[in-house]
Structure 1
Amino acid sequence: MERKNFLKTVAFASLAPALLLAACKDAGKKEVAGEKKQTYTCSMHPQIVQDKPGTCPICGMNLVPFDKTNKEAALTLGESQIVLANVTTMTVGAAGALSNFKRLNGRLVTDPERTAVISSRVPGRIEVLYVKETGVKVNKGQPLYKIYSEQLASLQQEYLLAVAQVKQFPEDARFRQIEKAARQKLVLYDQSDAQIAQLVQSQKVDPYVTYPATVSGVVSELTATEGQYVAEGGAVMRLEGYNQLWVEADVYPAEASAIHVGQQVKVIVAGWENEPQTMTVQFINPALQSGSQLLQVRGAIPNPDNRWQPGLQANVLLPVKSKGNVLSLPVDAVIRDGKGAHVWVEKARGKFEPRMVSTGMEDFDSVEITDGIKEGDKVVVTGAYLLYSEYILKKGSNPMAGMPGM
């Protein structure tokens, strides 16, 4: 009996270390299984998920850690985080009215009715250009150029002979007709009554003639230089008036039915958003622009003090029928992506959850919410995009991924 007890004791002593080691291994496995496994995602592409650090295979950004096991569709921020993210909320109040506008892309262009081409009335050689560069403002009556014209000299000599004949034979009707015809030629060559009277008084031919500006404007183009010979009617320079500008806007044919000639619209010039201008639609091009599927509408706006230049971008606001009794939010409160539109609602202090919404009419400041929120909800109006980014970083998924219909 004692021998048997001794053998049992020896056998237990030899098996005890193996049993203890196995127990430790099982406990270690359970401990490892109970640990949370760290996962990583891309802040720009949340569909990229892996269990070790690295870079995003799409954009190359470093992956950031996130809690894959936290499935709560809400985001909790501390007071300091709310302040740093500039998260503010508003309580959705009673329904109000909302007006909508279609924004048409446009631009300011020169009004051709205020453009003048200065051309030579006589053939000859330009002796002096009093304006030698573009961008110079000139006033009506200001000398622009002086030209030497042999043809003008011949016409002046012809007129002096006709005047002498009339003086010598005052009763001859034929000489009076010749004098009248010779004078008319000088008038057609832009000789004024004062210049013709001076010619008769001095009895001296002057082949040089100085031409003044017929209108006020800015020199936009010089087509002749000093010493250059120009033909009769040849262009010397172009003057443009900027006290009134055209607004040309592009519109799709499907939207053209909402516009008509004589309609009053608002124009916003880039850089002067706080000073909208009223424009009357003057023309709707009946044909599509070359190389595009767009029509063009046109109107004119005043340009006080020439503060706007042709080429500036402008937006034409085409009014659409107003709606009343709608719930609306600031435009920045609504986040739009491929999943739809959503807002962030504050359920408790510091606790925000995404809420899918349906939108309706929209203007520059507000957007109509047709479904998803109700009066009394506290909606985030600034910092919504930061909440959206923070949710993706912490949860590793799009906040709309678990919404109905997604």
Structure 2
Amino acid sequence: MASTSLIARDLFKPPPTPPTRPPMTNALQDKPWQTRWRPWLTLLLAGLLLGATACQQTKPDLDQTAKAAAYYTCPMHPQIHADAPGDCPICHMHLVAVAPPVAQKKPVVASAVYTCPMHPQVREKQPGSCPICGMDLVKTSARPAISQLPDTDLATNDLIITAQQLALGNIQIQTMGTGPTPATSIRQTDMPVPQTVLTGTVTANARRTESISSRVAGRVEKLYVRQTGQLLRRGAPLFSVYSEELQTLQREYLLALAQDLLVAEPTYRHFAEATAQKLRLLGVSGAQLRQLAQSGKPNPLVTYYSPRTGTVQTLAVVQGQYVAEGSPILTLTDLSSVWVEAQLYPAEANRLPLGQTVAVQVAGQAYPVRGKVVFRSPELSGSSQLTLARIEVANPAGRLQPGAQANVLLNNLPAAPATRPTVSAAVETALRVPPAAIIHNGAVSYVWKQTGERQFRRVRVRLGDGTSTTVPVLAGLQAGDAVVTTGAYLLESEFTLRQGAGDDHMSGMAM
């Protein structure tokens, strides 16, 4: 302000006496010099005061502004971009700083793991096959957050599926404690003998099956059977073969017969009989030998005939094919009697003693037929824990075809006498579910309980000793609970794919 006062004093200081000028002739010659210079002095003083006031304001930190600004632009001309503050080259306004965009945080992506839909305890970091069942591992996120699962109830962690998934998965529900079904709560001591239906398949009777092979090496010149399923009668021609061995034996036989007529000793007769026996062993019939002796010349082709009536099951050659000695030609089966091979649990084997007559219902037939149990396997088939029973059924009309599905009805058969085991009161009154409703994960068992229209929850249960049709649930369920009896494994697979294989976030673990 001191500098401002000095400037003002100098301005109002009267100037020195001007030199003598000649007299003026215009209108300004009568006005003093203060009147003529006063407007210009006022404007100059106002400008100096404004400049002093602006200098006293705090200057902005240009370094911080430059760091915080992405670029500088003109408010009136946004096409102007500058890296440093300055003036607009068009309108000379001060450029303003434009802040950089706020950086968005990248979402944290969970690392991927691979698990088996049927065995969720298997977790691998790389794709491959399940070491338990051999299925291909599927990719899923490692422990995803519950909030990231749109198809999961956040309050209960239940699995929610769509209506289409419910229909395609054939999800069936059974309410515990209602209806005369295997899932109803009943006393074991009051249970009647279960009505059992065994599934089986119609097969060919091996006792009535014969394989026909080539007796000699040669070429099949004529094949009379061209397709499987063809019914052949006994004595029907099968094929004709040309063989050097047969040609030689025929010549020897004719030569021995001719020499036997010329010599009285029976030497050549014995030789002819030995040669004829060789031809019989090679499949030449007695009628063919008599025809050979009458004609007196060897037959280039030897025809073989069907030894029995039957249906062609397999055909291994074509016409014109060379065959070796012992090569299979075809298989004949007499379908007037067939077998029904049924699978059953070892606990049910005592209901099918050898010689027992049972009823068999074959698919496509209106009425069941009767059969006799002729064989019961003493061992289990692989890992299925099932054994095999073979039932022989008469099939005179040929209506029962091998490969057809059949059911063995044990409803009217008496069960073998056995005492009922002593059970506890908890088992007697336990709720019972079918085996298909139970999911086993090592030593832990689960069932799927319905909690909404399309909402399900996996519940841990404790099981008792059951049968092939029902299993008692000792803890984990209550009467009135709706349990999934069909499609539980599909829900388990869907749940595994959505939430991973861990069990620490499951609901229903406490019992």
* TM-score interval (norm. to shorter): 0.5 to 0.7
Letter in 1 for 2:382: S
Q: In the alignment, which of 220, 228, 239 is matched to residue 134 of structure 1?
A: 228
Aligned to 2:378: 286
Structure 2 residue runs without a partner (length 5+): 1-152, 165-191, 417-432, 438-477, 483-511
- Is the CA contact (8 Å cut-off) linking 1:163 and 1:179 kept in structure 2? yes
Letter in 2 for 1:155: L
Question: Between the two proteins, what is the percent identity of the paired residues?
Answer: 42
- Distance in 1, matches of 2:225 and 2:328, equals 14
Structure 1 residue runs without a partner (length 5+): 1-47, 51-55, 63-97, 323-335, 339-397
Aligned to 1:317: 409
Shift of 1:99: 7.7
Give CA-to-partner distance per residue, 1:166-195, whole Å, 9 cap, x none.
11112x233222121111112222222222
- Is the CA contact (8 Å cut-off) linking 1:131 and 1:145 kept in structure 2? yes
In 2 relative to 1, CA 291–125 (structure 1 residues): closer, same or farther, beyond 3 Å? farther
Give yes or no for the alignment of 1:204 onto 2:297: yes
- Distance in 1, matches of 2:481 and 2:294, equals 96
Shift of 1:270: 2.1
In 2 relative to 1, CA 60–204 (structure 1 residues): closer, same or farther, beyond 3 Å? same
Give CA-to-partner distance per residue, 1:171-223, whole Å, 9 cap, x none.
x2332221211111122222222222222222111120111111122222111
| TM-score, normalisation: structure 2 | 0.44
Give yes or no for the alignment of 1:268 onto 2:357: no
Give yes or no for the alignment of 1:155 onto 2:257: no
* Runs of 4+ displaced beyond 4 Å: none
SS in 1 for 2:219: strand
- RMSD (Å) for aligned C-alpha atoms: 3.4
- Distance in 2, matches of 1:163 and 1:291, equals 65
Give yes or no for the alignment of 1:194 onto 2:287: yes
SS in 1 for 2:160: coil
Q: Which has the larger radius of gyration?
A: 2
Q: In the alignment, which of 107, 112, 122 is matched to residue 216 of structure 2?
A: 122
- Distance in 2, matches of 1:290 and 1:174, equals 63
**Greater strand fraction, Structure 1 or Structure 2:** 1
Aligned to 1:255: 348
Q: In the alignment, which of 335, 338, 342 is matched to residue 245 of structure 1?
A: 338
- Distance in 1, matches of 2:288 and 2:364, equals 50
In 2 relative to 1, CA 153–61 (structure 1 residues): closer, same or farther, beyond 3 Å? closer
Give CA-to-partner distance per residue, 1:279-317, whole Å, 9 cap, x none.
111111111113421111111111242222111111112
Aligned to 1:343: none
Q: In the alignment, which of 161, 164, 169 is matched to residue 59 of structure 1?
A: 161
Aligned to 1:400: 480
Shift of 1:226: 1.5
Shift of 1:105: 1.5
In 2 relative to 1, CA 258–193 (structure 1 residues): closer, same or farther, beyond 3 Å? closer
- Is the CA contact (8 Å cut-off) linking 2:350 and 2:415 kept in structure 1? no
Give CA-to-partner distance per residue, 1:370-400, whole Å, 9 cap, x none.
xxxxxxxxxxxxxxxxxxxxxxxxxxxx993
- Distance in 2, matches of 1:321 and 1:59, equals 44
Letter in 2 for 1:231: A
- Is the CA contact (8 Å cut-off) linking 1:249 and 1:298 kept in structure 2? yes
Give CA-to-partner distance per residue, 1:118-137, whole Å, 9 cap, x none.
22222211001111122222
- Distance in 2, matches of 1:226 and 1:167, equals 40
What pairs up with 1:2-401 in 2 under 5 angstroms?
58-61=160-163, 101-170=195-264, 172-272=265-365, 274-318=366-410, 319-321=413-415, 400=480
Shift of 1:401: 5.4
